[in-house]
Amino acid sequence: MACDNDAPGDGIRWKNYPALTQPSKSYRWLVVKCQLPDVTTIPAGLDQNISQFFGISGTGYGNIPDYFHDVSYNRASVISDTFLGWVQAPFKSPDLARNGRLASSVPGRQQRVQECLSALPADQLPDLDTFYGVVVVNNAVQDGGACYVGQQTLTVGNKNHQLACVWFDPNSLLTEFAAHEIAHGLGMTHSYDDSLRNCGGNPGEYCDPWDIMSAQGTFQFRDRNWLIGGFASGAGPGLNAPGLMNMGWIPADNQRRFQFEGDDNQTFKLRALSRPRGTEPLVVLLAIGTDTPFDEIYTVEYRQGDGWDLGFVTDPRAPAAVVASGGAVFVHQWRPVGTPTSTLINGSFAGALQPCDTLVLHNGARYVTVDEFNVADGSATISIGFGRGKFKYCFRPSDRIKHDKRAVGSRLPAESDGLKEQSDRPLRVLPPRTSAPDKGPPLPPGVGQPG
Ligand SMILES: [Zn+2]
C-alpha cells in the first residue's frame, strides 16, 4: 500500500453514512486566507490543513464536506473549491484584542471579513455571487465563529452580496466547533432543552449536549486527523431531528407520524440517525394538537454511539447508562416556525431515554416508551400511545451490566457470561418510569458555551 503522507493528521479513514438521496443543494464556500501584518508567521502546515478541512483533498478523513454529506444523507454539498490568499489584512492584532475596533463577534467578524475581502485586488476577486458563503481564516489565534445566521448582506468593495460569513483562526479547524459555525451559516440556530438552566446563553440555550447546535458542551469523540497544536481535536456530534427537519435533510420516505386511533400503542422501529437504511424511519413526528399552530409538535429519534455520534459512548462526560447501552432515544419539541427550533425534553432521564423508560408528554396527552435497542442493527424499537403508558414486561440493559460485573467479580467460568445467563433469566415486571416534561432533574454536566 502506498504511503499516505499527504493525509491529514494520523490519516485515519472516515466511513461516510450511506446516501439516501442525490445531492440537490450546493453550498459552495469561498475560503480566503487573511494575514495580520503584525503577525509575520503562518503556522506550519496551516495551508494544507485549510484546504483539506474544507476541500475535496480532505474528504474521506472526516472533514467538513464529510460531516455535511453524512448528516444531510447526501442532500447538501457543503464544500470549498476556491482558496485565496494570503491577503494582507488592513488591520492588526490589537484591532481584534479586547476593546479593539473589530473585536466584537457582532458586527466585528463581519467587518473583518469585509475588510479582508476588500483588500484583495479586484482582478483576484472571484464573482462572489457564485458562492453561498465566505470563510476567512487568519493566521493568529484570537477568535472564531459565524458572523450571523444564514446569508445576509456582505459589502465588499462598495458592492453588496448576499453571503453566509464565518471568521476562523488557526485553532478553529475541528469539526465540533467548525461544523457548528458553518451550520449557523447554513441557517441553523442554537438548540435548547426544557430546563431553563444557564448553559452559557439564554435559559436552556446550549443545553442539548447531544446536538452540535449546543456548541462545545456536547458529547464528542477524539479525532486524530484534525490536530490542534499537534493534539487530537473534538469531533461531532451530529444534528438532532428538529435541526435535520428544518434543513429538509430527512427524506419524506424516512419520516413516520404517530396517527394511531386505538387505545393500545403504536410501535416503530427507528434507525439510528447515524445508521440510515433505505426508507426505514429516522424520525417519528407526534402532534399533540393544540389550538396554536406549530406549537406542540414533537420528534422522536434514536442516536447510537457511532459515526458523528461516537462521542456518546466515548466522551468521559457521557452518562454511564448511554455508554453501557450504546445509544439513547431523544424526544424534542420541534418548532418548524418560530424559535427555538429544538427543545430537548428532559423528563426524568436527562433527555436520554433507555430501554424501559417512558416519557410522558403534555401532562399525559401522549407517552413514548423505549422497548429495546439493537446496536448491531443500528435500530431502536419504541412505542407511542395516548396517556401515561402501561405496565409491561421490560428488561433494562443496565440490569445486565450489573450482573456482568458481579459475574466477573466472582470469577465465574467464562462461558457463564451475563449474556448467556440473561437468556435463562425470566423477565421481570417493572412499573413504568414516567415523568412530566416540566419536572426534569439536572442534566449531567454538559455545559455549553456560546460558539
Ligand atoms: Zn453558535
Angle ∠(290,268,443) on CA atoms, nearest 5: 70
Q: Report how far ligand 1's centroid is from the alpha carbon of 180 (Å).
A: 6
- The helix-helix angle for 175-185 and 64-71 (nearest 10°) equals 70
Question: Mean of the per-residue pLDDT values for the chain?
Answer: 86
The CA 451 to ligand 1 mean position distance, Å, reads 4
pLDDT reported for residue 293: 62
Q: Which of 198, 232, 159, 231 is nearest to 448 (CA)?
A: 198
Query: Which of 83, 51, 81, 78 lies closest to 67 in space, CA to CA?
Result: 78
Which residue's entry shows cell 454539498?
A: 77
Measure 307 CA to ligand 1 centroid, in angstroms.
22
Note the pLDDT tens digit of each residue in 134-179.
Answer: 999 999 999 999 999 999 999 999 999 999 999 999 999 999 999 9
pLDDT at 131 (0 to 100): 98
Predicted confidence band at 80 (pLDDT cuts at 50, 70, 90)?
very high
Q: What is the pLDDT of residue 229?
A: 87
**Three-state secondary-structure class, residue 33:** strand
Average pLDDT, stretch 3-18? 88
- Give the ranges where 123-218 is alpha helix by DSSP (H): 175-185
Q: How far is the CA of 437 from the centre of ligand 1 (A)?
A: 25
CA of 206 to the centre of ligand 1 (A): 8
Q: What is the pLDDT of residue 422?
A: 28
Domains and CATH numbers, the chain: 25-187 (3.40.390), 242-430 (no CATH)
Structure confidence at residue 4 as a pLDDT band (50, 70, 90): low
Beta strands at 379-386 and 366-374: parallel, antiparallel or unpaired: antiparallel
Question: How far away, in angstroms, is 30 Cα from ligand 1 center?
Answer: 21
Which range is least confidently modeled, 13-22, 105-114, 259-268, 287-296? 287-296
Least confident of 157-161, 209-213, 313-317, 399-403: 399-403
What Rg do the C-alpha atoms of the chain give, in angstroms? 24
- CA 258 – ligand 1 centroid, Å: 32
The Cβ of residue 388 has, within 10 Å, a number of other Cβ atoms equal to 17
Contact call for residues 299 and 270 (beta carbons, < 8 A): no
Q: How many CB atoms lie under 10 A from the CB of residue 171?
A: 16
| Distance of CA 122 from the midpoint of ligand 1 (Å) | 32
**Distance from Cα 350 to the centre of ligand 1, integer Å:** 22
Instruction: Quote the ligand 1 centre to 347 CA distance (angstroms).
Output: 25
For residue 198, how far is its CA from the centre of ligand 1 (angstroms)?
15
pLDDT band for position 400 (cuts 50, 70, 90): low
Question: Is-contact 270 258, C-beta < 8 A?
Answer: no
